[in-house]
């Protein structure tokens, strides 16, 4: 019954979306408020309707209804309830349903806001939203239906939604279970964040398209969409960080990012989204580069759809996906159509979009920011070509050539370096026109402090110049931001005669976005510290040890104590857990428990490293193998990852910064 | 709202040439980085058939190669003291279309393992044995050919298409030495 309700609600949502599209278009054409209102009501309804479908799917998952193919694929009896719930996005059909649901959520949210002010834009916003939603619903209904079930007749097992004549339902006794790699807290929150980040860009995109269609080239669309874009960007950032953290904690290869096509496909919209957020700044402050913000948000949204396509189509070999799915071509068609429409719109509206002001001086805040925009875009293009390289080379030279992580790193490293320099210069430069003299006055003190970034590594004996430069830049950005912070607080204090605490609070509140950005930059350089640590200074070793034997790496010595192999009945797995004691510089600092879990339902092992993490370095131990019967010897792979903890600390500072910037301030006149 | 009428404003001044040149210089720099890094890091993606054919001509000497094939379960040999891993893979067509016609990846892998006439390649690897290394898994290996005609892998990527679908990361990537 639940399957029928779920599918029925899914179908009904499609009808509502199509109706909304038609009503909005008709109402817009005939200037009929009644029709537009009706479209709006249809749009409000899509989210609650699809929620029914989601609730039905969750019910099926929790009640172990294995007649439903999707439930049998991703769930099993032994899984705890919270994992059964998260199995909603553990497979293709369910993820798509979840995706549509979030999309509907954004749609309904826009439909609920006040419509009187932007009456000309909103019907078009509704149309763009609902067309996208309808596309995903069509995928969900006709290609990847999560509610299809198992049936059996004389000819064998059938898979369909409705009962075929003469067939009887069959109920598998248990399901295959969620991929054990996904049974990790990081993996439970990572997909929803990632999806929210992806889906959230629909709103700024639809406002951009609406303003193109209506020829409304003022800043209204930017004012509305900027906030939505910032939220989407926040979720996308969270998704990326959680994914990296999960890879570090679970995959057991001592790394966090592999330049895999699927990782890249969420990095690309993040890069262009970042470029957009910077371009918008110039748009607002100087009314320049307006066409850039328009193009960037459109490209970001196209990359989101393209990213979903990469993830879903199995076109490229990746760690994430190999569903050789037929929805690939449908997606490609949808992307092609979207590109066509947006390009045509841009061409016809281009002259109205262009800003009157042009860049006058490279050494100005806007000049430096636009360089950063170009760098972000450049990296995005490089990643885009890198992902497509096997396909392009196959088409042109009939030889599949792939580019691996070293290729991306060679390009990303200098671009990152350039961005760090800009992070030093841009925030201190004045809008419109800046002078070296003024800049020098603000820079010399932070510059002196930043030399610590070179002196300290030199002092501990580090001699690799690319790393030295990187450390220095990190220190420089940190110093600049701290000095700025103190300087502005002091100014405020002097002007308004306030205490330090008051002044600090006022400063933060007064200019949320600018201070949020400062925290974001501080977070980025802290993350850079972790990246430098692991890229330049990671060391590793391995060995097979008998109980009581030791292995040394960097300043650490690990001693293999014992191995426990036992069944964990409640989660249907067999656990092999090694106990390893760790000494640093001859002093015992604790025990680590690297382990390997073998899941019976899916027949797959998961290796979970034991990690001792400090701000100086991580000591990361992987249990590779052990002698089955005697349990006398076990093999370990060991990594020393200097500074990597700063990557995670920086990520939280970064997220905190975005939150400061997005947090709803007291109503401003513009809002 | 100040610039509402902007599109009707008089002629827009041109962007000074120096900024256009500057912007192009940055773009050229990035393009240069992309092209120059290609030589050192590009990997040729080949099937076992192609590796076997090209190996004879010496075309693959010193090249960084990516090869994929189906793992033959009974050939997996692992010495946990030295972390030396070896196994053999059988040719699987690279064409997705062809694989789909043959009944999907799982079927293609099964056929490859069962067919004694397929070309095969022995893989050597040093490092931890990957969790997903098993019979009829699809292995994607990065490394180079040894003069002995064996393939020395420095990275193993594995897929087991029968188990999972969709976005789930069902392979583990391992970097060895």
Name every residue whose Cβ is closer than 8 Å to that of residue A258 and which is 6 or more positions away in sequence. A247, A319, A405, B173
Letter string b/e over residues A99-116, b meaning 16 or more CB atoms within 10 A of that residue's CB: bbbbbbbbbbebbeeebe
A624 close to B (CB below 8 A): yes
Residue A316 CA to residue A328 CA, distance in Å, equals 11
Residues B81 and B34 in one domain: no
Contacts of A414 in chain B (CB under 8 A): 33
Q: How confident is the model at residue A473 (pLDDT cuts 50, 70, 90)?
A: very high
Nearest CA in chain B to A92: B166
Residue B163 reports pLDDT greater than 70: no
Name every residue whose Cβ is closer than 8 Å to that of residue A530 and which is 6 or more positions away in sequence. A643, A644, A645, A646, A647, A648, A649, A650
Sign of CA dihedral A199, A204, A205, A207: positive
The answer to whether the beta carbons of residues B101 and B140 sit under 8 Å apart is: no
Residue A25 reports pLDDT greater than 50: yes
What kind and span of H or E run contains B85? Answer: strand B84-90
Name every residue whose Cβ is closer than 8 Å to that of residue A101 and which is 6 or more positions away in sequence. A47, A50, A51, A53, A54
Residue A358 reports pLDDT greater than 80: no
A328 close to B (CB below 8 A): no
Q: Tell me, what DSSP letter sits at residue A165? A: T
Q: How far is A419 from chain B (nearest CA, A)?
A: 12
- What average pLDDT does the structure give for chain A? 87
Residue A505 CA to residue A485 CA, distance in Å, equals 12
Mean pLDDT to the nearest integer, A613-640: 83
Give the per-residue pLDDT at A670: 37
Classify residue B152 as exposed, middle or buried by CB count within 10 Å of its CB (0-12, 13-18, 19+): middle
CA distances from A281 to A289, A382, A427 (A): 10, 24, 12
Which residues on neighbouring strands pair with residue B46, listed in sequence order? B67
Mean pLDDT to the nearest integer, A249-254: 77
Give the per-residue pLDDT at A115: 80
Q: How far is B117 from chain A (nearest CA, A)?
A: 25
Q: How many residues would you count in chain A?
A: 671
Give me the residue label for tokens 């109980």.
A547
Of the residues B5, B25, B40, the one at which a domain ends = B40
Give the per-residue pLDDT at A44: 95
Residue A655 CA to residue A310 CA, distance in Å, equals 27
pLDDT tens per residue, range A127-170:
999 999 999 999 999 988 999 999 988 888 888 888 888 888 98
Give the per-residue pLDDT at A223: 85
Domain count for chain B, please give it: 2
Residue ranges of domains in chain A = 1-159, 179-404, 405-532, 537-647
Looking at this predicted complex, what is its ipTM?
0.78
Q: Do A320 and B169 touch (CB under 8 A)?
A: yes
Sign of CA dihedral A444, A446, A447, A448: positive
Decide if B96 is inside a domain: yes
Q: Which two tokens stand for residue A169?
A: 């339902």
Contacts of A255 in chain B (CB under 8 A): 175
Q: Tell me, what DSSP letter sits at residue A154? A: T
Among A119-123, A630-634, B41-45, B173-177, the range scoring the smallest mean pLDDT is B173-177
The answer to whether the beta carbons of residues A128 and A213 sit under 8 Å apart is: no
Task: Write phi, then psi, for A162 (nearest 5 degrees).
Answer: -85, 165
Looking up residue B85, the CATH number of its domain turns out to be 2.40.50.140
- What average pLDDT does the structure give for chain B? 76
Task: Write phi, then psi, for B114 (nearest 5 degrees).
Answer: -80, -25
A219 close to B (CB below 8 A): yes
Contacts of B105 in chain A (CB under 8 A): 322, 324
Among A217-221, A266-270, B154-158, the range scoring the smallest mean pLDDT is A217-221
Q: Which two tokens stand for residue A345?
A: 């719109």
Q: Which domain holds residue B23?
A: 14-40
Sheet of strand A156-160: strand arrangement: A156-160, A149-153, A168-169
Give the per-residue pLDDT at A5: 96
Of B37, B83, B161, the CB nearest to A411: B37
Q: What percent of chain A has pLDDT over 70?
A: 96
The DSSP-derived string for A555-613 is TEEEEEEEEEEEEEGGGTEEEEEEEEEEEETTEEEEEE--EEEEETTTTEEEEE-EEEE
Q: How confident is the model at residue A314 (pLDDT cuts 50, 70, 90)?
A: low
pLDDT tens per residue, range B117-145:
888 999 999 887 877 788 888 888 888 88
Decide if B6 is inside a domain: no
Q: How confident is the model at residue A414 (pLDDT cuts 50, 70, 90)?
A: very high
Residues B105 and B32 in one domain: no
Q: What percent of chain A has pLDDT over 90?
A: 48
Sign of CA dihedral B58, B64, B69, B74: positive
Residue A370 reports pLDDT greater than 50: yes
Distance of CA A619 to the CA centre of its chain: 27
Task: Write phi, then psi, for A196 (nearest 5 degrees).
Answer: -60, -40
Give the per-residue pLDDT at A313: 60
Residue A649 CA to residue A154 CA, distance in Å, equals 61
Q: Do A258 and B38 touch (CB under 8 A)?
A: no
Mean pLDDT to the nearest integer, A38-44: 94
pLDDT tens per residue, range A545-597:
888 889 999 899 999 998 888 998 877 889 999 999 999 998 999 999 999 88
Residues B111 and B161 in one domain: yes
Among A151-165, A312-326, A370-384, the range scoring the smallest mean pLDDT is A312-326
Q: Which two tokens stand for residue A293?
A: 């913000």
What kind and span of H or E run contains A149? Answer: strand A149-153
The answer to whether the beta carbons of residues B144 and B65 sit under 8 Å apart is: yes
Mean pLDDT to the nearest integer, A235-262: 86
Decide if B8 is inside a domain: no
Residue A224 CA to residue A220 CA, distance in Å, equals 6
Sheet of strand A539-546: strand arrangement: A539-546, A633-642, A617-626, A610-613
Most confident of A216-220, A424-428, B92-96: A424-428
Q: How many CB pairs under 8 A join A and B?
A: 204
pLDDT tens per residue, range A506-539:
777 777 788 888 999 999 999 999 999 998 899 9
Disruptive mutation site among B9, B167, B170, B173 for chain A (greatest number of A CBs within 10 Å): B167
Mean pLDDT to the nearest integer, A265-285: 92
Contacts of B28 in chain A (CB under 8 A): none
Residue A422 CA to residue A369 CA, distance in Å, equals 8
Among A553-562, A621-630, B70-79, the range scoring the smallest mean pLDDT is A621-630
Residue A345 CA to residue B101 CA, distance in Å, equals 40
Q: How far is A198 from chain B (nearest CA, A)?
A: 15
Give me the residue label for tokens 């080379």.
A393
Q: Which CATH class is domain A537-647?
A: mainly beta
Contacts of B102 in chain A (CB under 8 A): none
Residues B76 and B120 in one domain: yes
Residues B69 and B151 in one domain: yes
Q: How confident is the model at residue B175 (pLDDT cuts 50, 70, 90)?
A: very low
C-alpha neighbours within 13 Å on the C-beta side of residue A266: 31
Q: Which two tokens stand for residue A273?
A: 């989204």
Q: How far is A489 from chain B (nearest CA, A)?
A: 31
Look up the pTM and report it: 0.87
Q: How confident is the model at residue B9 (pLDDT cuts 50, 70, 90)?
A: very low
Contacts of B176 in chain A (CB under 8 A): none
Mean pLDDT to the nearest integer, A2-11: 95
B166 close to A (CB below 8 A): yes
pLDDT tens per residue, range A170-207:
888 888 888 787 787 777 888 899 999 999 999 999 99
B170 close to A (CB below 8 A): yes
The DSSP-derived string for A73-142 is HH--TTS-HHHHHHGGGSSHHHHHHHHHHHHHHHHHHHHHS--STTTTTHHHHHHHHHHHHHHHHHIIII
* Angle, helices B17-41/A365-397, rounded to nearest 10 degrees: 40
Give the per-residue pLDDT at B167: 31
């Amino acid at each position: 019954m639940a399957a029928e309700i779920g599918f029925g609600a899914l179908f009904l949502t499609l009808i509502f979306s199509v109706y909304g599209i038609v009503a909005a278009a008709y109402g817009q054409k005939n200037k009929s408020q009644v029709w537009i209102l009706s479209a709006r009501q249809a749009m409000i309804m899509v989210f609650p309707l699809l929620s029914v479908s989601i609730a039905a799917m969750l019910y099926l998952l929790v009640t172990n209804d294995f007649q439903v193919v999707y439930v049998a694929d991703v769930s099993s009896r032994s899984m705890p309830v919270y994992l059964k719930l998260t199995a909603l996005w553990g497979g293709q059909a369910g993820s798509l349903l979840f995706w549509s649901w979030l999309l509907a959520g954004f749609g309904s949210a826009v439909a609920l806001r006040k419509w009187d002010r932007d009456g000309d834009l909103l019907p078009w916003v509704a149309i763009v939203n609902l067309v996208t939603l309808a596309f995903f619903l069509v995928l969900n209904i006709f290609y990847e239906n999560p509610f299809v079930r198992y049936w059996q007749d004389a000819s064998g097992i059938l898979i369909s939604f409705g009962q075929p004549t003469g067939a009887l339902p069959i109920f598998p006794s248990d399901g295959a279970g969620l991929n054990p790699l996904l049974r990790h807290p990081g993996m439970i929150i990572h997909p929803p964040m990632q999806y929210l980040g992806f889906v959230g860009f629909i709103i700024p995109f639809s406002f951009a398209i609406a303003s193109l269609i209506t020829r409304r080239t003022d800043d209204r669309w930017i004012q509305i969409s900027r906030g939505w874009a910032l939220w989407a960007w926040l979720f996308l950032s969270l998704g990326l960080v959680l994914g990296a953290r999960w890879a570090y904690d679970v995959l057991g290869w001592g790394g966090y990012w592999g330049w895999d096509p699927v990782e890249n496909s969420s990095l690309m919209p993040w890069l262009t989204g970042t470029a957009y957020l910077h371009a918008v700044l110039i748009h607002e402050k100087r009314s320049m580069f307006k066409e850039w913000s328009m193009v960037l948000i459109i490209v970001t949204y196209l990359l989101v759809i393209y990213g979903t396509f990469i993830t879903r189509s199995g076109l490229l070999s990746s760690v994430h996906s190999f569903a050789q799915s037929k929805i690939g071509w449908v997606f490609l068609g949808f992307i092609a159509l979207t590109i066509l429409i947006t390009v045509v719109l841009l061409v016809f509206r281009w002259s109205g979009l262009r800003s009157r002001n042009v860049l006058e001086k490279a050494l100005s805040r806007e000049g430096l920011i636009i360089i950063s925009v170009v760098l972000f875009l450049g990296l995005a293009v490089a990643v885009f070509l890198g992902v497509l390289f096997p396909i392009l080379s196959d088409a042109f030279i009939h030889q599949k050539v792939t580019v691996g992580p070293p290729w991306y790193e060679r390009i990303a490293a200098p671009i990152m370096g350039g961005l760090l320099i800009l992070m030093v210069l841009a925030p201190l430069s004045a809008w419109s026109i800046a002078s070296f003299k003024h800049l020098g006055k603000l820079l010399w003190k932070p510059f002196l402090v930043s030399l610590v970034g070179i002196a300290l590594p030199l002092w501990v004996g580090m001699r690799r110049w690319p790393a030295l430069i990187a450390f220095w830049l990190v220190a420089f950005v940190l110093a600049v931001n701290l000095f700025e912070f103190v300087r502005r607080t002091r100014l405020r204090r002097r002007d308004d005669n306030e205490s330090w605490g008051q002044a600090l609070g006022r400063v933060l509140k007064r200019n949320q976005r600018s201070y949020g950005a400062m925290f974001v930059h501080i977070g980025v350089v802290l993350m850079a510290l972790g990246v430098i640590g692991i890229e330049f200074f990671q060391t590793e070793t391995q060995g097979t040890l008998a109980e009581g034997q030791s292995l040394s790496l960097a300043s650490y010595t690990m001693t293999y104590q014992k191995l426990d192999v036992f069944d964990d009945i409640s989660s249907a797995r067999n656990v092999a857990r090694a106990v390893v004691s760790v000494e640093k510089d001859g002093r015992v600092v604790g025990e680590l428990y690297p382990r390997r879990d073998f899941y019976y339902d899916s027949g797959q092992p998961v290796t979970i490293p034991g990690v001792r993490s400090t701000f100086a370095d991580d000591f990361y131990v992987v249990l590779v193998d052990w002698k089955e019967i005697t349990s006398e010897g076990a093999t370990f792979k060991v990594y020393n990852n200097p500074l990597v903890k700063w990557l995670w600390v920086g990520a939280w500072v970064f997220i905190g910064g975005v939150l400061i910037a997005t947090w709803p301030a007291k109503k401003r006149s513009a809002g | 709202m100040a610039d509402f009428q902007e599109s009707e404003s008089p002629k827009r001044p041109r962007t000074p040439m120096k900024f256009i040149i500057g912007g192009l210089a940055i773009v050229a720099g990035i393009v240069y980085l992309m092209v120059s890094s290609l030589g050192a890091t590009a990997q040729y993606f080949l099937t076992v058939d192609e590796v076997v054919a090209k190996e004879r001509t010496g075309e693959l000497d010193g090249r960084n190669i990516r090869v994929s094939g189906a793992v033959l379960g009974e050939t997996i040999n692992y010495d946990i003291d030295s972390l030396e891993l070896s196994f053999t893979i059988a040719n699987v067509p690279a064409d997705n279309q062809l694989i789909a016609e043959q009944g999907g990846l799982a079927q293609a892998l099964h056929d490859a393992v069962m067919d004694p006439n397929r070309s095969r390649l022995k893989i050597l690897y040093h490092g931890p044995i990957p969790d997903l290394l098993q019979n009829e898994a699809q292995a994607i290996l990065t490394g180079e050919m040894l003069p002995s005609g064996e393939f020395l892998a420095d990275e193993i990527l594995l897929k087991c298409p029968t188990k999972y679908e969709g976005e789930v990361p069902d392979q583990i990537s391992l970097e060895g030495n």
